[in-house]
Each structure stands twice: as structure tokens, then as C-alpha cells.
Structure 1
């Protein structure tokens, strides 16, 4: 028998001995917090008898309690579950160490319910993300993400803590690293999008605000998009060679994330023509579903760690949902359901400022200190020495 089951038995036994303790338990302990259906049925019956003003429901001490309290509770609970007898109630009373500790036992039950509820809703979010990945949607992932967020808010309120994301320590549990298969069509869409942006760099103005490198499923595609974004930010020309050079400067060729032939093939301007915005939306959609699955796995790993206190579990779980909310906001911008921040609707993005372009390009120019010294600079830097032969003696 687990400690959680013993805590459920103890709190029910304590209420059998002192029904008045329901006044302290009922505001935050609910029947669904019990893991066993029989225990949930008994607690539901206790709450009903209390709301019906049962004569014994106000008894506060562990002294004599009318036998009707126990028999009526069992009779009411038996309407909803089978196998309950008077001996079941007596066994619950016998397992209660101290009836006056009912609130403490109740918090143990709530703590177990928090872990169990978070794990269940994280599993549902993961299943929804997998289903959306197959059918090409985001609706189920978004819905179950909202449900999980609302559940965490409700559990935080019942536990008496704050609904505040908290970054877990490095030693916090993390899901096992199992690389997820990537759809071949998605990889083709990513290559198509990068080709469109390379052929028509002006399209970067339309996607750079909501399409991030991490939205690409392939690591090489992420590096190419970073290189495109860097060239665009600096106002430098974009073509096959400049993108290849930028990926090399970023180490993507040295660490074998990419090779030169692949970069040149993806950035071939003659191979792509299409809508960068539409394909970009598909990339962000796939990123949202992947992020939902990753967040769900992380939350589930946290919930399975019984050593985590409820307050920390809720804070860590909210933090794990943060990346999902960030991608979700960019998805709304991409689909037009939310305006892009810091930009006026219907106005094209402006070119990079001249000062920014000049500062970026100056980093690639040779500096004077690295060039060969000229005669003028040599003369300017030579110490001034007076020729003794030309010095005039004082008269």
C-alpha cells in the first residue's frame, strides 16, 4: 500500500471520527482528488450529508459521534460504487493515526492529486500534438495546452501558491532524448522556403518577424536561415555565395552541419518560385506541434518525480509551457489573427538604416593597423629628433 492510499484512508477515518473537520477540508479538497473510486465516493457522500445538515456533521472532537454518521455515509456512497460495507468504514477509522491531523492528511491527498492531474493532462497534450502532426493541424494541441495551463492555475490556487513560472535547476528531471521522426514533406517545405528567400531576399521582411531559426526541424536549415537573417540585418547582398560564406563563418561547415554543395543547391535561385509566406506558415505550424509535444514530455517527466513539492512542480510546469506559448503567439501573427508588434498594418518593412549597413560592412574591411605602413604614416609616427649639425648655438 502506497503512502498516498494511506493518506486517503487517514483523512476519511479522521472525518468519520470528527465530521466537523469538513469545514476546513471542503474549500480545497474535492472528491476527484482521491485516487481510489471508493474513497472518492465516501468523501462525496460526506459532503452531501454535510450540505443536507446531517445532525452529526458539526461534531468537532474525536469524542462520541452518532453511529448514523457512519451508516448514512456508507449508504449514500453505496449508491455510486459497489463493495462498501460498515466494516469498510471501521477499517478507515482504524487506519487514522491522529484524527486531529485531518488537514495534514488532506494536503497529502491533494499533493498526490496534483502530480496525478498534471501527468494526465500532459499525456493528453502529447497525444493531441501527435494527432495534429499526422493530420496537419494545431487545434487539438492549442486546446489541450489551454486546458493544462488552466489546470495548473486551479491547482496553484488550491495549494495556496502563486501561478508563476519558475526555471527548474539543472538537476531537475528531463525526458529521455529520443529523436522524433521528421516528415519528408516538411523537410521539402523548409528547403523550398529557404530557396524562395534566397531568390527573393525582400521576402525576408515579411517573415522575419514571426519565423525563427528554431522553427526549422532540420539543423542545417536552421543555420541557413540564420545566415540569411544575418545578411539581411546587415543589408548585405544575398546570393548563393554570400550565404555559403556566412554559413562557413558561423562554423556550420566545420562542424559538418552543412556542406557546400547542399547550401548551393538549396540557395539556387533558378529552382524555386512560390509563396514564401504560405510555406513559412506551414513551418511555424509544424514547429508549434513539435514544441507542444516537447513541452508535454517535459511536464510529464516533472509530474512523475514524486520528490517535487507541488509548488515547485506547478512553477516548473508553467516554465516548460513558456516556449509553446511563444511559438503560439508567432503562429497567430503568421496567420493574421494577431497584429505583428511594433509595425503598422499594411506598411512594408523599411530597408536597414544606412548607419547599420555601414557599421556591419566596416567589420569586413581591413583596418589601418593591418595594412602596410605608408611613408606618411611612418613619418608621422617617427619620434622628433633634432639634428645636432643644424642646431644653432645661442648668440
Structure 2
């Protein structure tokens, strides 16, 4: 028969703890309340490491008050009254009964350092999950004026969290997480498809630009046919073969692209009508790939943190492995957005927050601001 709390029963004690760490926090706080001198044995946790506001307020109160004499504390519990009064300033719902229940549930006060280490580990998990969520939000937020720059910043912040966790819990070999990787999000964006088509058309019309666009790979495209056509173009350039819609069509036939639903006439029409420059559309395609990669990275790390079986060591190793995949895309983005080197000065790299002029866009009907320098 389920337990029904009495009207005067402490609500904090009646609520079922959502996670095992709740019990660990109770044990640690009970150890401090029973033997306050144990606080000197504990490092690595602060009020923000606790999962509830009530526990955070109790820890803050215990940490801020001088520990009583052990012999006096054993016979006169006035210190507990002071802790309760101080903690109630932040958590008014705390009661003396709850403090006594914490003392009762503590199995062994000398184990306080072990309890603190468990709480520290769970706090690291929550911090990493929050950093991953911010990265996903940044990659999706179309209202950001500098979306890629903001995503860069969130990636750096996530890396900083990982570094801090690795300092606290140094990873060891053979500790990859076993959490399944979430599937890559499927993009059905008409703007992305249009930009990829314009890139293919302009690159076919201006094949000399393709050699300078090694920073773009087939994996950056959202449509398999477009990725295959980009491979056709780069292959023709590598062979020093003439490039035009007909030669691309012939190469596409050899790669089996026509059997995937694309008809010859449709493919020729796709490659016609160049607008702007290949570099402009290539950067647009790569930018979407960067943001999609950041979104997938955030979801992978979120999946790691949501799996309670993963230890802090596994979180560090798995997240760093995932971060390395995105770093490769960041590197290509930096190559794509690097200004040409002046003849008399060293090369100047356009950073994520730079205001340097981007590539030329479409003609005046849909043109970018005049300040942008056309090729």
C-alpha cells in the first residue's frame, strides 16, 4: 500500500528523490550536522554542487559558520539551531525535523569525503549537460546577428567545462561511453537546397575557383545528389578535364547519380543559370555544415550526460572525441574565411567576430549590402 504523508509531515522528506545523488547529499549533510569538523576533510564542492535549493542553503550555512567544539556539540545542539536559522534565509521551508532526519540517514560520517566526491561527479554531469544545451540553442538561434561566432563561443565554453572536469577526474584509457550516438538530424531546408544548386551552377561556370575551395567537402551538402555532383566537379578538376554541364553530366552517369532519380535534362537545368561567385555559395553551404555539426555535437554530449551509467571519466573521453569531429569542420571554416595574403604584409585571418567583407553574393535584385566586395 503506498505511503500517504500526514498533513504535518515534512514535505521535503515526503517527496521521492528524483536521482540517487539526492540520497548522497542527505548523507553528506547529515555527516556535517553530526560531526561539523568533517567539513575540513571535504574539497571540490560548493553550494552550487547540490541538486536542490534546500540542500544548497544548508551546505552554505554549514560552511559559513564556525564549527563548534565536538564535545560541546555532542551534548548541546545549539549549533544546529544556528544552522537552521541561517539556511532558512535562503530556504524558508526547512524544518528542524528535516535536519534530524539527515543525521539519521547518514550511514557513516567518516565517509564524508567519498560522499562529496560523488556529489562533485554529478555536478560535473549537470554542468556539461548545460553547456551542451547552450551549444544546441546557439546553433539553432536564427535571431543571433553573428550566429557562427556565438556558436564558436559556446563551443569554447563547452571545451572549458571539459578541461575543468578532466582536471577533477583525469580520464584513463579504455573508458569510452557506451551510450548510442543520436542520429544526425535530417535537414529539409529549401534555402539550403537552393544555395547548393547555385553553388553547383556557379562552380560549373567558373571551374577555376574549385581548386581554391578544398575547404568544402561532399559531407557539407544536405542533399546526396548535390554531394555527388560536387565530387564530379572536383574529380574533373583533378583530372584536368574540361568542365561544363555536359562533362559533369557524363561524370555523373559514371558515378550512378542518374539512376538515383535525376534525369539528364533536370541535371543540365540544375547546372545552368550561375549567380554570384562559387566562393560565396560555398561559404553558405559550409556555414550550414558548421552549425549542423555543432548541433549534433551538443546532442551527442547531452546523450552522454543523460546516461547515468557514464562516469566522469567516460564523459570526458567521449565528449572530447565528439569535439574533435567538430574541430575539423571549424578548421575548414577558418580556411574558407581567411583573407588572401597581401604582397607586402603577412596574411590576415578573419576571425569569427571580424567585420571583413564576405564573398560576393547574388546580383542586385537580391544583393548583399554594397559594402561587401565582389570578386
**What secondary structure, in the 3-state scheme, does the structure 1 residue paired with 2:141 have?**
helix
What's the counterpart of residue 170 of structure 2? 161
State the distance in 1 between where 2:108 and 2:340 align.
Answer: 56
Structure 2 residue 231 is the aligned partner of structure 1 residue 226: yes
Partner of 1:314 in structure 2?
A: 316
Q: 1:148 to 1:90 in 2, by over 3 A?
A: same
Matched positions, count: 326
Deviations 1:26-46 (A, max 9, x none): 3x1122111101111111222
Indicate which of 70, 84, 88 corresponds to 1:74.
84
Q: Which residue of 2 aligns with 1:121?
A: 131
- Tell me what 2:37 maps to: 20
Q: Within the alignment, does 1:203 sit opposite 2:209 as a pair?
A: yes
2:180 aligned residue: 173
How much does 1:286 deviate?
A: 1.3
Q: Return the offset for 1:175.
A: 2.0
For 1:185 and 1:215, the matched residues in 2 are separated by 15
Q: CA deviation at 1:155?
A: 1.9
1:283 to 282, 285, 295: 285
Taking structure 1 as the reference length, the TM-score comes to 0.74
Structure 2 gap ranges (5+) = 1-16, 349-375
Deviation at 1:313, TM superposition (A): 1.4
Partners of 2:175 and 2:107 lie apart in 1 by 38
Cα separation, 2, equivalents of 1:3 and 1:273: 59
Q: Which runs of 4+ in 1 moved over 6 A?
A: 133-136, 164-167
| Pair 313,16 (structure 1): closer, same or farther in 2 beyond 3 Å | same
Query: For residues 1-395 of structure 1, what are the structure 2 equivalents within 5 Å?
Result: 1=17, 2-26=19-43, 28-49=44-65, 54-56=66-68, 64=74, 67-132=77-142, 137-158=147-168, 160-162=169-171, 168=176, 171-176=178-183, 179-182=186-189, 184-208=190-214, 210-254=215-259, 256=260, 258-268=262-272, 271-336=273-338
**Contact in 2 for aligned 1:228/1:243 (Cα 8 Å):** yes
Q: Distance in 1 between matches of 2:321 and 2:58?
A: 36
Instruction: Identify if the C-alpha distance between structure 1 residues 176 and 279 changes in structure 2 by more than 3 Å, giving closer, same or farther.
Output: closer
Please say which structure displays the higher CA radius of gyration. 1
After superposing the two structures, state which structure 1 stretch, 259-268 or 89-98, moved more: 259-268
Question: For 2:74, what is the secondary structure of its paired residue?
Answer: coil
When normalised by structure 2's length, the TM-score is 0.78
Cα separation, 2, equivalents of 1:325 and 1:297? 16
> Would you say the 8 A contact 2:175–2:313 is kept in 1?
no
SS at structure 1 position matched to 2:186: coil
How far does the alpha carbon of each residue in 1:151-190 deviate from its partner, in whole angstroms, 9 at most, with x for none? 12212222x314x998947x532225652332x1221111
CA shift at 1:117, angstroms?
A: 2.2
CA distance in 2 between counterparts of 1:124 and 1:236 reads 47
- CA contact under 8 A between 1:17 and 1:65: conserved in structure 2? no
Distance 1:194 1:320, change over 3 A: same
Shift of 1:65: 7.7
Aligned counterparts of 2:47 and 2:217: Cα–Cα separation in 1: 45
Contact 2:185 2:296 (8 Å CA) reproduced: no
Q: How has the CA–CA distance of structure 1 residues 92 and 55 changed in structure 2, closer, same or farther, with 3 Å as cutoff?
A: closer
